[in-house]
Amino acid sequence: MGKESKVKDKSFLKPPGRGILGLLVAATLITTGVGFWQVSQVRKAQELKVAATANPTPAATRNSVTALGRLTPQGEVIKLSAPSASEGARIEQLKVEEGDRVTQGQIIAILDTRDRLQAALLQAEKEVKVKQAELAKIQAGAKTGEIGAQQAEVAKSQVQVQRETEAEQANVARLEAQMRREIEAEQANVAKFEAQLQRETEAERANLAKWEAQLQRETEVQQAKLARLQAQVRGEIASQNATIDRLKAELANAEAEEKRNKELSETGAISASAYDTKRLAVETARQKVKEAEA
């Protein structure tokens, strides 16, 4: 707190009247320059007038010319004005007259704002002295009590921060212990579920092996039955083919016998009824072949 006051009061060491002094000096110098320039111009004019009177030219004594016109300076024209800070000020008192000699630093005029500016300068100087006195008191330890109170406040804040820090650390430790317990409980649950999953997996594998063995046995039984049926079918097919061959042979014999009996019937060697018997036998044999092939 003492350090802040010291830094803050240093700004008052700069005299606030320095700007005002600068304005007064600038106004004085400009006014002095203007007066000096006017005096020098008047003096030059007088010297030229005296020289012209003492040494008149022959042409001037013999001839004279009269004309209307205006005079312009041979060189550049320089305009002088007071600084912007003194605008609105007027000359209250003129200290020199036309043709007077002036020296550097001489007061040639007094502005009507002099009293106000001088009063402001005095007020600024007083404020600087007051602030310098306050700074000296602070540097001499006049506010030691305030510094001690501030130090006590800082110590109190440090103790409070320490207590809050310890409380936060205890809270963090409690939360960490609670989190560890929850993690351990979750890990125990995970281990239990993993063991249960392992048992169920082993049981499913055992059931799968049992079903695979049963399916293998049933497959073997079905394959044996299929082989037996295939052998039976092949036997039946062979038997049927043999029957068909036998019936075809019988049909061929019946057809040959029917043909021979037909010729005999036409010659009258056998009766018509005997031929009809042979013909019916052929029809019967042909019908049996068709049934066997179907």
pLDDT (0 to 100) of residue 214: 95
Q: Which positions ≥6 away from 274 have C-beta within 8 Å?
A: 261, 265
pLDDT (0 to 100) of residue 143: 59
Angstrom distances, CA of residue 108 to CA of 5, 25, 33, 93: 46, 12, 10, 9
pLDDT (0 to 100) of residue 282: 84
Paired tokens of 276 = 């009809």
Please check whether residue 245 is in contact with residue 238, taking contact to mean a CB–CB distance below 8 angstroms: no
Domain 234-293 has CATH 1.10.287: yes
Measured between its terminal Cα atoms, the distance across the chain in Å is: 127
Burial letters for 80-111: b for 16+ Cβ neighbours within 10 Å, e otherwise? eebeebbeebeeeeeebeeeeebeeeeebbeb
Give one word for 71, left, alpha or beta, with left for phi > 0 and alpha for psi -120 to 50: beta
Q: Which positions ≥6 away from 47 have C-beta within 8 Å?
A: none
Nearest Cα to Cα of residue 261 among 272, 275, 280: 275
pLDDT (0 to 100) of residue 142: 52
Helix (H, G, I), strand (E, B) or coil at 108: coil
CA distance 133 to 13: 10
pLDDT (0 to 100) of residue 74: 54
CA distance 146 to 266: 167
**Alpha-carbon torsion, ordered 204, 210, 214, 219, to 10 deg:** 70
pLDDT (0 to 100) of residue 23: 45
User: Domain segments of the chain: what residues?
Assistant: 2-56+78-142, 234-293
Per-residue pLDDT of the chain (294 residues; tens, 9 = 90+): 444 433 334 333 344 444 444 444 444 445 445 444 444 544 444 444 433 333 444 444 444 445 455 555 555 544 434 444 445 567 777 777 877 787 887 887 777 777 888 888 888 888 888 888 877 777 666 556 676 777 788 888 888 999 999 989 999 989 998 999 999 999 999 999 999 999 999 999 999 999 999 999 999 999 999 999 999 999 988 888 888 888 888 888 888 888 888 888 788 777 878 888 888 888 888 888 888 887
pLDDT (0 to 100) of residue 11: 38
